[in-house]
Every structure is written in C-alpha cells, then in structure tokens.
Chains A and B, each alone.
Chain A
Amino acid sequence: MSRWEFMRKLEELLSEISPGEREEALKYYNDYINDGGKENEAEVLESLGTPEQVAAIIKDGLEGNAGEFTESGFQSKAAQNANPVAHYQAPKSYDTNKASSQAKSGMSGGAIAVIVILCIIFSPVIIALCCALFGIMIAIFAVLFALLLSFGITSFALLISGIILVFVGLFRIFFGPLTGLAMVAAGLILSGVGLLFLLLTAFIVMKAIPGLFKGIGYLFDSLFGGKRGVKNG
C-alpha cells in the first residue's frame, strides 16, 4: 500500500468524526510518515498498521478509551478488533514458550469444541446407533442363552432317555434277547448323542461366553477409551 493510498483510506474511514478531529489526526500521521524519512516510507507504513487499525485507534481515543495496557505494551482494543491479526509484536525474550503453549492448548480446545458440536449435531444418529448396538448385544445374549438352555435340556433329555433305554433293554434281554439288545443299542446311541450335546454346552459356557464379554469390552474400549475411537467417531 502506498502512502497516498494509506492516507486516502484513513481519511475515508474517519469520515464520521468531526472535521477538526479528522484534520488533526491526518496531520499527525502525515507528519509521522514524513518524519520517518522518505527512504523508510514502506517500513513506517507497515509499522503503523493498516488504515483500519489506525482509524480504530483514533476513534477509540475520541471515545475516551485509553486502550489496554498489556504484557506486550500499550494496545488499543479497537485496533485489535479492526484486525485480529494484529501487528503488535509480542516481547521477544519473554513469552515465546507461553505463546507456543497457548497455541497448542488453543488448538486442542478447538478440536474439543468441534467434537462437541459434531456430537450435538449428530446426536440423533449417535443415540439411534447406541440403541441399535445395545439391542444387538441383548439379542446376542438372548440367542446364546437360548442355545445354552436348549443344548443343556437336549443333552439332559438324551442322556436320561438313553440310560433308561439301556436299563430297560438289559431287563428285556431276559424275555426277548433281540429286542432287548436293540433297546440297549438305541439307549447307548442316545447317551452318546447326549454326551455330544453336553460337550457343546460346556464349550458354550467355557469358551463362547468369555469370548463374547472380551469382545464387548474391546468394543467399549475402542469407542470410549482410546483416542483412535474418538477421532474416527
């Protein structure tokens, strides 16, 4: 921005203040640029800030706001509002660590805010998904329980009837050996199948249920515990 552009823009921005004040301010900054030296003109213009910032400082002064005095020197609130990317420089020796840590925490704060907002926006979907997941879990449990119960009852029934058949068969051998032997054989087969079902039941109790709990635990871990889950969600 050239000096002429700067002054013209500043004059335009000061159009709402009284002509006397405007003239005073324009004279001051015109003098200031002159006194900075023709060869340093670009530098001086840059150090003054944008016309918007300068205008804000002038208007702020007229309203009786003295500005803020902060760690990085005298700062006008208005100028900062006019341009958040202020040209005020932070102290060099002091504060570099602080600035970087602030930037860090600011970033994570922003990320948290974004996540919270996303959660609120997608809450209907998230709640529905959670309900569905819960429903599926209960269904899996119900199925497993039903299987367990039916296998258990089946194996129990088969074993009982098998044993009864064997005893009845042994008794019948005395009256009709063939029929008796057939009954004993059938009883033994039933008992064998019953034992198979018992093994299956035992397998469900010993392996499938702990496995299922482990799986659910892992699911919850990745959903609520680990950062990976949060980011993906």
Chain B
Amino acid sequence: MVFNTGAALLDGIVLAVVSRETDGTYGYKITQEVRTAIELSESTLYPVLRRLQKDECLDVYDKECAGRNRRYYQVTEKGRRQLNLYEGEWRDYSAKITMMFEGGKKHE
C-alpha cells in the first residue's frame, strides 16, 4: 500500500471490525481481519486495542473456549459513537479524494 494509515483511521478500522461481532471478538481474529485491509505487523495491534479499551471505546471480557479463557473485545456505546464519527469523516474525505481523481480525468 502506498498510502499511510493514520492513527484515527486505524482506530476506525479496528472499531469497525470489532463492531461487526455483536458478541465481541478476540485479538487474533481482529488482527487477521484488519490485515485484509491494511498492512499491519501481527504484534502491533495490542497497543491500539489497549488504548481503545482505556478510552472506554472497547470492553473486554473473558469467555471460556476450548478449555481456556479467551479475551474478547466488544464495542461500547462510546466506541459506537466514535465509530460513527470516523465513518462520517471517512465518507467525506474519500468522496473528496475520489472527486479529485475522477474530476481531474474528465477535464483532460
């Protein structure tokens, strides 16, 4: 990918991925799904999840799975509002960029 991913955009992507699962999802799965969209080293998502958790955008709980407790992440009400904000901003931003690219072509 040639475009850099800003911190806010990464937060938005993570919140979007987690919000898709109503019962919450876990670190490994989040990482794999985020990696389908942007280049991300496997170990770098932990600080992002931890920060979102501290900011009360994410909730964590442990659920037993295959004989051990797995940590699950769930989007909070605050997280959902934050995600809405990111989605709106992204629509705006991406529409403008698209217009730049495609509008430029028309006038050529």
Q: How many A-B residue pairs have CB under 8 A?
A: 100
A73 engages B47 (CB within 8 Å): no
A201 at the interface (CB under 8 A from B): no
Least Cβ distance of A16 to chain B in Å? 16
A71 engages B44 (CB within 8 Å): no
Q: How large is the interface on B (under 10, 10 to 19, 20 to 34, 35 or more residues)?
A: 20 to 34
CA separation between A73 and B40, bound complex, in Å? 5
A-side interface mostly: helix
B47 engages A61 (CB within 8 Å): yes
CA separation between A27 and B72, bound complex, in Å? 11
A79 engages B44 (CB within 8 Å): yes
B-side interface mostly: mixed
A141 at the interface (CB under 8 A from B): no
CA separation between A183 and B28, bound complex, in Å? 119
- Lowest 10 CB-CB distances: which A-B pairs, in order? A61-B47, A73-B39, A35-B28, A66-B7, A47-B42, A69-B4, A48-B43, A69-B5, A54-B43, A88-B41
A31 engages B6 (CB within 8 Å): no
Known contacts A35-B28, A35-B70, A91-B1, A49 near B10 by CB under 8 Å:
no
A27 engages B71 (CB within 8 Å): yes
The interface residues of chain B lying within 8 Å CB-to-CB of A32 are: 27-28, 31, 42
